[in-house]
């Protein structure tokens, strides 16, 4: 009677062959894990670097828009001041009312200028 590994033409049983090659398989697996982790690390660094540039650009845009908003607020304050509004009213043809008289007609008040 022949042994199973001899019938298959193998020099030793399959279980012994597996046992001999496990140390090599562990080394290969460890190196593959190290290589995979290194690639993952490089990918994370690249992604975070790109996002850092995007964040810096967004911060610069925010600062630019804030300074523009401040300038527009100052312009609004200038235009809406009392003196500017009085000048604009005179330019549009409005006149200054010196004396106002009211007439109470049937409980309602009216005003007119002379």
Q: Which residue has the tokens 């312009």?
A: 75
Closest Cα to residue 98, out of 82, 87, 114? 114
Tens digits of residue pLDDT in 102-113: 766 666 655 666
Beta-strand (E) ranges in the chain?
100-105, 108-113
Q: Which pTM does this prediction carry? A: 0.45
Tens digits of residue pLDDT in 58-110: 999 999 999 999 999 999 988 888 888 888 888 888 888 888 777 666 666 55
Helix (H, G, I), strand (E, B) or coil at 99: coil
Q: Collect all residues with Cβ–Cβ distance below 8 Å to 110 and sequence separation of at least 6.
A: 102, 103
Q: What are phi and psi of 99, to 5 degrees?
A: -130, 125
């Amino acid at each position: 009677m022949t042994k199973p590994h001899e019938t298959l033409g193998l020099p030793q049983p399959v279980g012994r062959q597996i046992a001999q090659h496990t140390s090599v398989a562990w080394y290969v697996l460890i190196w593959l894990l190290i290589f995979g982790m290194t690639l993952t690390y490089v990918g994370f660094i690249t992604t975070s670097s790109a996002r850092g540039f995007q964040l810096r650009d967004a911060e610069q845009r925010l600062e630019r828009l804030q300074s523009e908003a401040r300038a527009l607020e100052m312009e609004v304050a200038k235009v809406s001041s009392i003196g500017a509004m009085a000048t604009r009213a005179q330019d549009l043809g409005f006149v200054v009312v010196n004396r106002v008289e009211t007439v109470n007609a049937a409980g309602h008040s009216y005003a007119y200028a002379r």
